[in-house]
Amino acid sequence: MPSNAVPPSHPLKRPAASRVLVPKPSPKRFYGHGIPGVDLAKFTGKLIVVEGADGSGRSTQLAQLVSWLEGRGHATVQVGLKRSTLVSEELSRAQQGNILSRTTLGLFYATDFADQLENIIMPALKAGFMVLADRYIYTLMARDLVRGVDEEWLKNLYGIALVPDAVFYLQVCAEELVQRNFAKNHALDYWESGMDLGLSRDMFDSFLQYQTLMAEQFKHLQKTYGFSIVDGDRPTEEINRELQHKIESVLAGK
Protein backbone atom coordinates (compact mmCIF):
# COMPACT_ATOMS: atom_id res chain seq x y z
CA MET A 1 0.00 0.00 0.00
CA PRO A 2 1.54 3.42 -0.89
CA SER A 3 2.43 5.46 2.20
CA ASN A 4 -0.18 8.19 1.43
CA ALA A 5 -3.08 5.74 0.79
CA VAL A 6 -6.08 5.70 3.19
CA PRO A 7 -6.05 2.46 5.27
CA PRO A 8 -9.26 0.35 5.07
CA SER A 9 -10.12 1.02 8.75
CA HIS A 10 -9.82 4.81 8.31
CA PRO A 11 -13.10 6.85 8.79
CA LEU A 12 -12.84 8.06 5.19
CA LYS A 13 -13.26 4.48 4.03
CA ARG A 14 -16.51 3.95 5.93
CA PRO A 15 -19.77 3.77 3.94
CA ALA A 16 -21.36 7.20 3.43
CA ALA A 17 -24.34 6.47 5.72
CA SER A 18 -22.16 5.96 8.80
CA ARG A 19 -20.07 9.11 8.25
CA VAL A 20 -20.99 12.33 9.99
CA LEU A 21 -21.44 14.85 7.24
CA VAL A 22 -20.51 18.29 8.50
CA PRO A 23 -22.88 20.79 6.85
CA LYS A 24 -21.14 23.18 4.53
CA PRO A 25 -21.93 26.72 5.71
CA SER A 26 -23.88 28.92 3.33
CA PRO A 27 -24.56 32.67 3.76
CA LYS A 28 -27.69 33.55 5.73
CA ARG A 29 -29.89 36.62 5.33
CA PHE A 30 -33.16 38.06 6.52
CA TYR A 31 -36.09 38.65 4.18
CA GLY A 32 -36.24 42.31 5.15
CA HIS A 33 -35.17 44.46 8.06
CA GLY A 34 -34.43 41.38 10.17
CA ILE A 35 -33.50 41.54 13.83
CA PRO A 36 -30.98 44.24 14.75
CA GLY A 37 -27.52 43.37 16.09
CA VAL A 38 -27.44 39.80 14.79
CA ASP A 39 -24.22 38.51 13.23
CA LEU A 40 -25.49 36.10 10.58
CA ALA A 41 -21.94 35.03 9.70
CA LYS A 42 -21.93 32.98 12.92
CA PHE A 43 -24.91 30.87 11.86
CA THR A 44 -23.45 27.54 10.82
CA GLY A 45 -26.59 25.39 11.15
CA LYS A 46 -29.28 24.89 8.52
CA LEU A 47 -32.92 25.92 8.57
CA ILE A 48 -35.21 23.48 6.77
CA VAL A 49 -38.92 24.26 6.48
CA VAL A 50 -41.72 21.82 5.67
CA GLU A 51 -44.91 23.59 4.65
CA GLY A 52 -48.27 22.17 3.67
CA ALA A 53 -51.95 22.17 4.53
CA ASP A 54 -53.51 20.61 7.61
CA GLY A 55 -53.05 16.86 7.36
CA SER A 56 -50.66 17.07 4.40
CA GLY A 57 -48.18 14.81 6.21
CA ARG A 58 -45.72 17.34 7.65
CA SER A 59 -45.39 15.62 11.06
CA THR A 60 -44.96 12.23 9.42
CA GLN A 61 -42.19 13.53 7.15
CA LEU A 62 -40.47 15.57 9.86
CA ALA A 63 -40.35 12.62 12.29
CA GLN A 64 -38.60 10.54 9.63
CA LEU A 65 -36.23 13.38 8.75
CA VAL A 66 -35.26 13.84 12.41
CA SER A 67 -34.29 10.18 12.81
CA TRP A 68 -32.48 10.19 9.48
CA LEU A 69 -30.51 13.35 10.35
CA GLU A 70 -29.76 12.31 13.92
CA GLY A 71 -28.68 8.88 12.68
CA ARG A 72 -26.08 10.70 10.62
CA GLY A 73 -24.85 12.63 13.63
CA HIS A 74 -26.68 15.94 13.16
CA ALA A 75 -28.20 17.59 16.19
CA THR A 76 -31.74 18.73 15.41
CA VAL A 77 -34.22 21.19 16.88
CA GLN A 78 -37.89 21.40 15.91
CA VAL A 79 -40.09 24.48 15.80
CA GLY A 80 -43.59 25.12 14.54
CA LEU A 81 -46.54 27.45 14.71
CA LYS A 82 -48.09 28.15 18.10
CA ARG A 83 -45.20 26.57 19.96
CA SER A 84 -43.58 29.61 21.62
CA THR A 85 -43.32 29.70 25.38
CA LEU A 86 -44.32 33.38 25.21
CA VAL A 87 -47.84 33.25 23.73
CA SER A 88 -48.83 29.78 22.53
CA GLU A 89 -51.24 29.15 25.41
CA GLU A 90 -52.82 32.58 25.15
CA LEU A 91 -53.14 32.16 21.39
CA SER A 92 -54.93 28.82 21.78
CA ARG A 93 -57.22 30.34 24.38
CA ALA A 94 -58.04 33.30 22.14
CA GLN A 95 -58.96 30.86 19.36
CA GLN A 96 -61.54 29.15 21.56
CA GLY A 97 -63.73 32.17 20.94
CA ASN A 98 -63.79 34.30 17.81
CA ILE A 99 -62.80 37.41 19.73
CA LEU A 100 -59.78 38.81 17.90
CA SER A 101 -59.86 40.92 14.76
CA ARG A 102 -58.02 39.49 11.74
CA THR A 103 -55.14 41.89 12.28
CA THR A 104 -54.81 41.15 15.99
CA LEU A 105 -54.92 37.40 15.43
CA GLY A 106 -52.28 37.77 12.70
CA LEU A 107 -50.07 39.82 15.01
CA PHE A 108 -50.53 37.22 17.76
CA TYR A 109 -49.16 34.57 15.38
CA ALA A 110 -46.35 36.93 14.33
CA THR A 111 -45.40 37.33 18.01
CA ASP A 112 -45.37 33.55 18.45
CA PHE A 113 -43.09 33.30 15.40
CA ALA A 114 -40.76 36.12 16.52
CA ASP A 115 -40.33 34.55 19.96
CA GLN A 116 -39.29 31.22 18.46
CA LEU A 117 -37.03 32.96 15.94
CA GLU A 118 -35.10 34.85 18.61
CA ASN A 119 -35.06 32.24 21.35
CA ILE A 120 -34.90 28.93 19.52
CA ILE A 121 -34.15 29.19 15.80
CA MET A 122 -31.29 31.69 15.88
CA PRO A 123 -29.45 30.27 18.93
CA ALA A 124 -29.74 26.76 17.45
CA LEU A 125 -28.37 27.88 14.07
CA LYS A 126 -25.51 29.61 15.83
CA ALA A 127 -24.73 26.34 17.63
CA GLY A 128 -24.68 24.48 14.30
CA PHE A 129 -28.00 22.62 14.69
CA MET A 130 -30.30 21.49 11.94
CA VAL A 131 -33.51 23.41 12.64
CA LEU A 132 -36.62 21.73 11.26
CA ALA A 133 -39.64 24.00 11.05
CA ASP A 134 -43.15 22.56 10.81
CA ARG A 135 -44.57 25.50 8.85
CA TYR A 136 -43.07 28.98 8.70
CA ILE A 137 -44.11 32.50 7.70
CA TYR A 138 -45.68 31.32 4.43
CA THR A 139 -48.66 29.62 6.11
CA LEU A 140 -49.14 32.70 8.26
CA MET A 141 -49.03 34.94 5.21
CA ALA A 142 -51.33 32.71 3.15
CA ARG A 143 -53.92 32.60 5.96
CA ASP A 144 -53.86 36.38 6.25
CA LEU A 145 -53.94 36.92 2.48
CA VAL A 146 -57.04 34.72 2.20
CA ARG A 147 -58.58 37.01 4.83
CA GLY A 148 -57.80 40.15 2.82
CA VAL A 149 -54.76 41.46 4.70
CA ASP A 150 -52.52 43.75 2.63
CA GLU A 151 -49.62 41.83 1.07
CA GLU A 152 -46.99 44.58 1.39
CA TRP A 153 -47.87 45.03 5.06
CA LEU A 154 -47.37 41.27 5.58
CA LYS A 155 -44.06 41.23 3.71
CA ASN A 156 -42.86 44.07 5.88
CA LEU A 157 -44.08 42.33 9.05
CA TYR A 158 -42.30 39.10 8.16
CA GLY A 159 -39.18 40.97 7.08
CA ILE A 160 -37.86 39.84 10.46
CA ALA A 161 -37.72 36.24 9.23
CA LEU A 162 -34.56 34.42 8.26
CA VAL A 163 -34.46 33.06 4.74
CA PRO A 164 -34.44 29.25 5.22
CA ASP A 165 -31.86 27.01 3.52
CA ALA A 166 -34.73 25.03 2.02
CA VAL A 167 -38.52 25.19 2.00
CA PHE A 168 -40.54 22.15 0.94
CA TYR A 169 -44.24 22.54 0.28
CA LEU A 170 -46.13 19.26 0.48
CA GLN A 171 -48.81 19.53 -2.17
CA VAL A 172 -51.85 17.35 -1.50
CA CYS A 173 -55.24 17.70 -3.17
CA ALA A 174 -58.12 18.94 -1.00
CA GLU A 175 -60.11 15.67 -1.21
CA GLU A 176 -57.11 13.67 0.04
CA LEU A 177 -56.62 16.21 2.85
CA VAL A 178 -60.20 15.57 4.02
CA GLN A 179 -59.54 11.80 4.08
CA ARG A 180 -56.30 12.21 6.04
CA ASN A 181 -57.80 14.64 8.55
CA PHE A 182 -60.77 12.35 9.18
CA ALA A 183 -58.49 9.32 9.50
CA LYS A 184 -56.41 11.19 12.05
CA ASN A 185 -58.85 13.30 14.06
CA HIS A 186 -62.31 11.98 13.03
CA ALA A 187 -63.22 15.66 12.56
CA LEU A 188 -62.24 18.84 10.75
CA ASP A 189 -60.77 21.84 12.58
CA TYR A 190 -62.80 25.09 12.77
CA TRP A 191 -59.88 27.35 11.76
CA GLU A 192 -58.36 24.98 9.20
CA SER A 193 -61.78 24.82 7.58
CA GLY A 194 -61.88 28.62 7.38
CA MET A 195 -65.21 28.66 9.24
CA ASP A 196 -64.51 32.25 10.41
CA LEU A 197 -64.77 33.34 6.76
CA GLY A 198 -68.40 32.26 6.41
CA LEU A 199 -67.72 30.43 3.13
CA SER A 200 -70.33 27.79 3.92
CA ARG A 201 -72.26 26.60 6.95
CA ASP A 202 -71.22 23.06 6.12
CA MET A 203 -67.74 22.44 7.54
CA PHE A 204 -66.84 19.85 4.91
CA ASP A 205 -67.75 22.23 2.09
CA SER A 206 -66.00 25.13 3.85
CA PHE A 207 -62.84 23.02 4.31
CA LEU A 208 -62.67 22.24 0.58
CA GLN A 209 -63.24 25.88 -0.40
CA TYR A 210 -60.80 27.22 2.19
CA GLN A 211 -58.02 24.76 1.32
CA THR A 212 -58.45 25.65 -2.35
CA LEU A 213 -58.06 29.37 -1.50
CA MET A 214 -54.99 28.57 0.62
CA ALA A 215 -53.45 26.52 -2.19
CA GLU A 216 -53.94 29.50 -4.56
CA GLN A 217 -52.15 31.80 -2.12
CA PHE A 218 -49.28 29.34 -1.77
CA LYS A 219 -48.99 29.26 -5.55
CA HIS A 220 -48.85 33.05 -5.52
CA LEU A 221 -46.26 33.17 -2.70
CA GLN A 222 -44.17 30.52 -4.44
CA LYS A 223 -43.38 33.10 -7.15
CA THR A 224 -41.76 35.39 -4.57
CA TYR A 225 -40.30 32.88 -2.13
CA GLY A 226 -39.47 30.08 -4.58
CA PHE A 227 -40.08 27.08 -2.36
CA SER A 228 -39.71 23.58 -3.63
CA ILE A 229 -43.04 21.90 -4.37
CA VAL A 230 -43.13 18.23 -3.39
CA ASP A 231 -45.92 15.91 -4.54
CA GLY A 232 -47.43 14.83 -1.21
CA ASP A 233 -50.02 12.54 -2.83
CA ARG A 234 -47.52 9.67 -2.81
CA PRO A 235 -46.51 6.98 -0.31
CA THR A 236 -44.75 8.35 2.77
CA GLU A 237 -41.42 6.59 2.05
CA GLU A 238 -41.25 7.90 -1.50
CA ILE A 239 -41.79 11.50 -0.35
CA ASN A 240 -39.17 11.09 2.37
CA ARG A 241 -36.60 9.76 -0.09
CA GLU A 242 -37.09 12.89 -2.22
CA LEU A 243 -36.76 15.16 0.83
CA GLN A 244 -33.60 13.39 1.98
CA HIS A 245 -32.09 13.72 -1.46
CA LYS A 246 -32.85 17.46 -1.52
CA ILE A 247 -31.54 17.97 2.03
CA GLU A 248 -28.29 16.24 1.08
CA SER A 249 -27.75 19.06 -1.42
CA VAL A 250 -28.44 21.61 1.32
CA LEU A 251 -25.89 19.92 3.60
CA ALA A 252 -23.38 20.03 0.78
CA GLY A 253 -23.92 23.80 0.63
CA LYS A 254 -25.54 23.69 -2.84
Ligand X SMILES: Nc1ncnc2c1ncn2[C@@H]1O[C@H](COP(=O)(O)OP(=O)(O)OP(=O)(O)O)[C@@H](O)[C@H]1O
Q: Which residues bind to ligand X, rule: CB under 6 A?
A: 52, 54-60, 180, 183-184, 235-236, 239
Q: Kind and range of the H or E element at 47?
A: strand 46-52
Among 138, 133, 146, 137, smallest CA distance to 193 is for 146
Closer residue to ligand X in complex, CB, 43/138: 138
Binding residue count for Mg ion, defined by CB under 5 A: 1
Q: Are 241 and 183 in contact (CB under 8 A)?
A: no
Among 67, 58, 158, smallest CA distance to 114 is for 158
Stretch that binds Mg ion, among 19-27, 51-59, 70-78, 181-189 (CB under 5 A): 51-59
Q: For Mg ion, which residue has the nearest CB?
A: 59
Q: In angstroms, give the least distance from the CB of 239 to ligand X.
A: 6
Partner in contact with 23, chosen from ligand X, Mg ion, none, beta carbon below 5 to 8 Å by kind: none
Q: In angstroms, give the least distance from the CB of 249 to Mg ion.
A: 25
Provide the H-helix boundaries in 47-87: 58-71
Given strand 46-52, what is the order of strands in its sheet?
Answer: 76-80, 130-134, 46-52, 166-171, 228-231
Q: In angstroms, give the least distance from the CB of 54 to ligand X.
A: 4
Q: Does 59 bind Mg ion (CB under 5 A)?
A: yes
Q: Across the chain, which distance is largest between two alpha carbons, in Å?
A: 78
For helices 203-225 and 174-185, give the axis angle rounded to 10 degrees. Answer: 120
Closer residue to Mg ion in complex, CB, 65/251: 65
Q: In angstroms, give the least distance from the CB of 217 to ligand X.
A: 17
Partner in contact with 80, chosen from Mg ion, ligand X, none, beta carbon below 5 to 8 Å by kind: none
